[in-house]
Amino acid sequence: MLNNIGLPGLLLIAIVVLVLFGRGKISSLMGEVGKGITAFKKGVDDGKKEIEDEAATVARDVTPEEETDKDKV
């Protein structure tokens, strides 16, 4: 059903949405969507950084525990 909608159909839908909600409401809604996308990307980047930091910490300490215990005594 949706594959039959062409350019004129999309324009008609856009005009109806614009009339129903108004330009101000749509622009504020798009602003909120943009903020949400930005926050999501930041969260993904923070998660990746946290995983990389944890992997780097594990990679640094490669000495077996038995040898570290002998050094402490």
Tokens 């159909």 belong to 9
CA–CA distances in Å: residue 35 to residues 8, 19, 26, 59: 30, 24, 14, 36
Are residues 54 and 45 in contact, defined by beta-carbon separation less than 8 angstroms? no
Minimum mean pLDDT range among 7-11, 48-52, 53-57 = 53-57
Mean pLDDT of 29-48: 94
Q: What whole-number percentage of the chain has pLDDT above 90?
A: 30
Residues 67 and 58: their CA atoms lie apart, in Å, by 17
Would you say the pTM of this structure is higher than 0.75? no
Whether pLDDT at 19 is above 70? yes
Four-residue CA torsion sign, 18, 23, 29, 34: positive
Whether pLDDT at 64 is above 60? yes
Average pLDDT over the chain, rounded to whole? Answer: 82
